Amino acid sequence: MEYKKVNNIKIPALGLGTWHMGGTLIANHSNDAEYIEAIKRAIDRGITHIDTAELYGAGHAEELVGKVITNYDRKKLFITTKVSPNHLLTKNQVINAAKNSLRRLNTDYIDLYLVHWLPPLLYHNALKNSMSAFDQLVEEGLVRHIGVSNFSVRQVKEAQELTKNKIITNQVEYSLLNRNPETELLDFCVKEKVILTAYTPIAKGRLNNEAFKILHEIAKKYKKTAIQVSLRYLLDKENVIAIPKMTSEAHLKEGIGCLDWNLKKEDQEILKNAF
Ligand SMILES: NC(=O)c1ccc[n+]([C@@H]2O[C@H](COP(=O)([O-])OP(=O)(O)OC[C@H]3O[C@@H](n4cnc5c(N)ncnc54)[C@H](OP(=O)(O)O)[C@@H]3O)[C@@H](O)[C@H]2O)c1
């Protein structure tokens, strides 16, 4: 596994996303066996970073992750989860949300705890409450590292001023089809030693489309697939990690094939100009 390092913290460069596992906004138990198998398979193939959230399946995605990780050496795993904006009204609500996530995850610590996104109203209060709660959770050993998600550069700076701990990631949408982070956030992350975690990194599989001819041509040159090149484009950036959802065995195998090689600078430029 490749890692990216900030503040002496090693984070696996490729993680497993879990949005839609166990439902969307409400729990759906009908495909539990399939998702448990998918999470287990990913860990068995070396994907030790799992990304989830209290919101996913109204907590059921965390429960599925919890069912699997209890059978593994916890120290070898890196679990990210997120507190929902509706729990940022008071510090206590954030602390309770974290404790509920811990219970569902069947674990006594969260490796990386994120604010999922900031509510547009009262966002200063939400930021203060969450950073103060995060500091307490770290102090109590319930959370190892803290981060944010869907934050602008300005919001990351504001959040950092409100916590004693280092914000080690901002998780945002980033793929060849959405290169917005390249305008400002990516440079900021490199300068401030923050990991940019790319979500929806393969644009939900759309990057596989034959219409992206240049992507397929580059893939052919490296004996890789369009999806592998799309992920490699992200991982070749300093400080970027990616967390695709890969439920099927074939998708997992293909995803893992993005690791441990590099795109030449000239091909990175071609992709940059094409997308
Ligand atoms: N912080 C946030 O606000 C936020 C927002 C969105 C997502 N996320 C996180 O980021 C993770 C990834 O994002 P995402 O799930 O939105 O999108 P994604 O990872 O870009 O795409 C996932 C979709 O692509 C399919 N897929 C996987 N590998 C493929 C391949 N090699 N070829 C073709 N299709 C492939 C998956 O199918 P199968 O699963 O059936 O294999 C799934 O349908 C989420 O699961 C979640 O953990 C965070």
Give the 3-state secondary structure of residue 1.
coil
- Choosing from 209, 251, 256 the residue with most ligand 1 atoms within 8 A of its CB, the one to mutate for a pocket test is 251
Q: Which amino acid is at 231?
A: L
Query: Is pLDDT above 90 for 177?
Result: yes
Specify the DSSP class assigned to residue 227.
H
Query: Is pLDDT above 90 for 121?
Result: no
Per this entry, what is the length of the chain?
275
- Give the closest residue to 222 by CA, choosing from 176, 174, 270: 270
Q: Whose CA is nearest to atom 16 of ligand 1?
A: 200
Query: Is pLDDT above 90 for 92?
Result: yes
pLDDT at position 190: 97
Catalytic residue among 3, 35, 56, 222: 56
- The sign of the torsion formed by the CA atoms of 144, 234, 152, 116 equals negative
Pocket lining for ligand 1, CB < 6 angstroms: 17-19, 51, 116, 149-150, 171, 199-205, 208, 227, 243-248, 251, 254-255
C-alpha distances (whole Å) from 167 to each of 138, 162, 174, 266 are 12, 10, 19, 33
Q: What is the 18 CA–ligand 1 centroid distance (Å)?
A: 8
pLDDT tens readout for residues 35-53: 999 999 999 999 999 999 9
Q: Is position 113 annotated as part of the catalytic site?
A: no
Strands (DSSP E) found in the chain: 3-6, 9-12, 15-17, 49-51, 78-83, 110-115, 143-149, 167-173, 195-199, 240-242
Sequence-distant (≥ 6) Cβ neighbours of residue 32 within 8 angstroms: 22, 64
Q: Which percentage of the chain shows pLDDT scores above 70?
A: 100
Q: What is the 247 CA–ligand 1 centroid distance (Å)?
A: 9
Q: How would residue 89 be classed by pLDDT, with cut points 50, 70 and 90? A: confident
pLDDT at position 153: 98
- Lowest-confidence region among 26-40, 116-130, 160-174, 180-194: 116-130
pLDDT tens readout for residues 229-274: 999 999 999 999 999 999 999 999 999 999 999 999 999 999 999 9
The answer to whether residues 220 and 196 touch, using CB atoms and an 8 Å cutoff, is: no
Q: What is the 90 CA–ligand 1 centroid distance (Å)?
A: 31
pLDDT tens readout for residues 183-240: 999 999 999 999 999 999 999 999 999 999 999 999 999 999 999 999 999 999 999 9
- Choosing from 174, 202, 232 the residue with most ligand 1 atoms within 8 A of its CB, the one to mutate for a pocket test is 202
Using DSSP, how many helices (H) and how many strands (E) does the chain show?
A: 10, 10
Q: What is the 162 CA–ligand 1 centroid distance (Å)?
A: 32
d(CA 244, CA 47): 11
Mean pLDDT, rounded, of the chain:
97
d(CA 157, CA 178): 23
